[in-house]
Amino acid sequence: MKRANNNSNGGIRRTRLAAACALVLAGFAGSAAAGPTIPFGKEGNLTFNYSFQGWAQDRGFSSPTDSGSSTDFFLRRNRLTFSGQYNDLVGFYANVDAPGDSKYTQDDKSIFFRDAYITIDPRDEVRFIIGRGKNTFTRENLEACFDPLTMDRAETLAYTPWGGSRDTGVAIWGNLANGKVQYRGMISDGREGNEVVKDSPRLTGRVHLSLLDPEYEFGYRGTYLGTRNVLTIGAAYDYQKDVAYGDYIGKADPKDYKGWTADIFWEQPTSAGTFTASGAVVRLDTGKVHFGLSPDPNLPQTTDMEGYYVKAGYLLPGKVGPGRVQIFGRYERSEYNLPTGYRDQDWASVGAHYLIDGQLLKVSFEAADLKFDKQNPTDASQRDYRQYTLGLQFIF
């Protein structure tokens, strides 16, 4: 796309870029909803959003040391978002969050900046994100948490051991072939601190191919609620050198981290309703560092994790009362490859969303059954249990 040479084309370009950046922020941040917007100058604007998820959850254990069942009311997510444009080239996004407030008796949690970054969008083929934002690795992590197909993402399989869901750095990405092909690369902090062998940057690359309607935002959605006909295949690679010692006490046997994932997403709207299905495989490899001579005690449990998930959903074609009904199911297999053999598990769940106003106002329910390969005698959270979750989502 060539830079415009006159005022008319410049106005068109600004309009297109502003719309594209709004879509980027929506997909990357977690919701397509737009709250109040304040204009600044000729090109600038600032939009406020409030996003809320309140859950009531019944589990087959109370805590790792208490196997008695429990019922907990908490705020799964509680965010205030600020996003907008400085001009037609530079945008920004930030949100503060207090997730899990009142979960496990942790009341009055402090808020923090979950995301804070600047976007630079000279053209659709080359864009930049600078600051703290989502890791550009697994599709499920990149799916907006306020637009999921199931109740939520995987508790661990969607995330990476270094950085979790977010990391700080620079990402370059873009859309090619009319949005059919998307690439992205990221250089970020990864694991830092005294425990690492060498403070090396984390490198991540991802690409996807959209065979039907393009998924052209930086982030994805778990369902488009029948507004797109999508078939997207993606893959990603994650790497950081010298992240840990196999012999932590002796400061020997350095280990590199490598991760890869492949995923597929399909959604087909029909007159009989909308059908959605997706799946992914994930492999994280840090050289079996937990089996080292004296493993680093600060290592995450997911350093050598592997697994997969499959999800499916069906959105009924018409309204049921004032809203629409979407039924979903999920199966997930996670293997942690730990010396104890604990944590390896199967997750199976079914549930439904009642979409009163799309994703802006909905009620959800999920029943999950978790089975562990090996029952942990000292940790109730790593023994077979069932979990029931009722949730309310509101976005303004």
Output the pLDDT for position 108: 87
Output the pLDDT for position 69: 84
- Count of alpha carbons within 13 Å of 273, Cβ hemisphere only? 13
- Quote the CA–CA distance of 393 and 376 in Å, as a whole number: 34
Token pair of 330 as six digits: 């999920």
Per-residue pLDDT of the chain (396 residues; tens, 9 = 90+): 333 333 334 443 333 334 444 444 444 444 445 688 999 888 899 999 999 999 999 998 877 777 778 899 999 999 999 999 999 999 999 999 999 998 877 888 889 999 999 999 999 999 999 999 999 999 999 999 999 999 999 999 999 998 889 999 999 999 999 999 999 999 999 999 989 999 999 999 999 999 999 999 999 999 999 999 999 999 999 999 999 999 999 999 999 999 999 999 999 999 999 999 999 999 999 999 999 889 999 999 999 999 999 999 999 999 999 999 999 999 999 999 999 999 999 999 999 999 999 999 999 999 999 999 999 999 999 999 999 999 999 999
Output the pLDDT for position 3: 36
Of 36, 8, 34, 7, the closest CA to residue 19 belongs to 34
Output the pLDDT for position 163: 83
- Quote the CA–CA distance of 393 and 381 in Å, as a whole number: 26
Pair 344, 304: CB distance under 8 Å: no
Of 189, 190, 179, 265, the closest CA to residue 218 belongs to 179
Q: Judge if pTM exceeds 0.85.
A: yes
- Quote the CA–CA distance of 215 and 217 in Å, as a whole number: 6
Output the pLDDT for position 109: 86
SS3 262: strand
Output the pLDDT for position 19: 40
**For the chain, which domains are there?**
7-395 (2.40.160.10)
**Phi, psi of 208, deg, nearest 5:** -140, 155
